[in-house]
Each structure stands twice: as structure tokens, then as C-alpha cells.
A = this chain, B = another copy of it.
Amino acid sequence: MQLYSYFRSSAAYRVRIALNLKQLPYETVAVHLLKDGGQQLQEPYTTLNPAALVPALVDDDGTVLTQSLAIIEYLDETHPQPPLMPQDPAQRARVRALAQSIACDIHPLNNLRVLRYLKRELHVSDEARDEWYRHWVHTGLHALERHLAGSADTGRFCHGDTPTLADVCLVPQVFNARRLGCNVERTPTVARIDAALRELPAFIAAAPENQPDAE
């Protein structure tokens, strides 16, 4: 498999974790989001993924997959061990909701193209742009904290004691939150789970600093 990835992309980081948890070998194809005016915005990448966003995964049979959560559920369906989703529909819905609370409610507001638009088109100051970033991270992580802290389904990780789709989303989001100066300790359950996950080899190997395109 080939993963079109950028070392700091949260969405690519999620897929790297899932590939590692499944012990699936893959080749990294670096797509540099800042060089050449953004390699994701140009050929040949936009033919592969017209949405011009990383990641994309090309499976061994040539199938092109986009959208990180869709890719991870595909990997879970085609390589079921170890499972990243529970079996029970209500528990599956809980895991998906936790993942989507990051992937739909936090990350889209804070990725590169949005921060750029704030600066270039709306002429927002660096301070106001960073405050925008922290506002959505704190809003989202506090919602996640209340969900996790208030549920008996939360274990060592987001759902029980084995990593799921929710955990795969949590670590990249917390990584980026810390990088932009958010105080993650204000959400203690999130911080505890993140610390436990970051001890696992699959998460360590997927970290931005351990990628071939890391700077």
C-alpha cells in the first residue's frame, strides 16, 4: 500500500496509526503541504484526490481511498485483526461519535487551508488566528472530556482497554493542540488517555517526528 502523507497532517497521522495497529506495511509518498505552493493542490496529486487534501491510500489492487475515517473503517473491514471498532451497534456508534467529534467538530476548523484563509483573505492578526485555533480546540476537547469522563464505557482508552477509531483520532488532535500552545491538562481524561496511547509502539511509529518526511 502507498500512503500519501504529510508528517504533520492530523488526518494522515490517524491513518498511519491504524496501519501500524494492523501491522500493515506501507510506503510513504510525501506530499508537502507548504512547498511548491502546496503539492496537495497540484498534479499529480489532484488527479489521485480531487479534494486536494491528504491523506490518500492506494491499496495493493490499485483502489484509491480518501477521507481518513473512511480509510480506517476500510482497513478495519478488510483486515479485521486487531479490531478498531466494537461489535455492538450502540458501542460502534459511541466510538464513531467520539471520532467524529474530533474529525468534524475540531480538526476542520484548524487545518492549514482555514488558517491561511483567515490570514490572507480576512487579514486576521496572528494573535487572533491563534486564538481562533485555541477556541475551537478547547471547545471541542471540553465536549470530548465530558463525554469521556461521564461514561462507564471509557477505560484505559476512549472505549475500553484496546485502541479504537476514537483513539486513532485523539492522539493527532492532542499533538496538534500542544504544538499550538493549548493547555490539554485542563481536560484530564483526554490527557490521561493520550499519555497511555502514546506509549504504544503503533502510535510512536506514527508520530510526526518519526516520519521519513519529518523536518
Contact = CB atoms under 8 A, between A and B. Distances in A.
A52 B105 CA distance: 11
21 contacts: A50-B143, A51-B147, A52-B143, A65-B93, A67-B96, A67-B104, A69-B104, A70-B94, A70-B100, A71-B93, A73-B96, A74-B89, A78-B89, A103-B104, A109-B109, A109-B114, A117-B132, A117-B135, A118-B122, A121-B131, A122-B124
Contacts of A52: 143
Contact of A108 (B51, B108, B128): B108
Interface of A: 50-53, 59, 63, 65-67, 69-71, 73-74, 77-78, 89-90, 92-94, 96-97, 100-101, 103-105, 107-109, 114, 117-118, 121-122, 124, 128, 131-132, 135, 143, 146-147, 150
Contacts of A104: 67, 69, 103-104, 107-108
A32 to B, nearest CB: 20
A97 B150 contact: no
Contacts of A150: 50
Contact of A69 (B63, B89, B96): B96
Contacts of A118: 122
